[in-house]
Amino acid sequence: MFKTILMPIDLQHKSSWSRALPAARAQLGEGVELHLLGIVHDVGNAWVASYLPKGYEQRALEEMKAELDSFVARELADVDGVTTHVGYGHVAETIVETADRIGADLIVMASRSPDELRTFRIASQGDRVVRHSPISVLIVR
């Protein structure tokens, strides 16, 4: 049914992929592409960025790419044609933009169980992606 699947993951938090990966695998079939996305968060403040070492962003992007490739070799060695992507910026925005750029027709991602207080203070990334994505989003809990 789906041809191009995007799965954003945070390699620092196993919960971002441990349940979502089996759900993404279940969607794979002949001719289905799986794309993994790692995101380097935007510092969001020029003052804070001025304290970071020169070349911080580029090094962070390169390290993220290497870690994603290692993840694929370890967790998806049996799947052909997995593509890794590294984004930079706000998480939900980067996910939706990447899905559009690669022509994804499904986003598979993990999300924490709802917590009204946390959602009120800082809406979850999954919630933001669902609200702004023009394609189907499979949230796995």
pLDDT band at 124 (very low <50, low <70, confident <90, very high): confident
Domains of the chain in start order, with CATH, are 4-140 (3.40.50.620)
User: Whole-prediction pTM value?
Assistant: 0.86
Range name among 1-15, 18-32, 64-78, 107-121 with the lowest pLDDT average: 107-121
Q: Is residue 26 predicted with pLDDT exceeding 90?
A: yes
Token pair for residue 50? 């001025």
Closest CA to 98 of 1, 9, 31: 9
pLDDT band at 31 (very low <50, low <70, confident <90, very high): very high
96-99: long-range pairs with CB below 8 Å, 24+: 96/129, 96/132, 96/133, 98/6, 98/8, 98/35, 98/37, 99/6, 99/133, 99/135
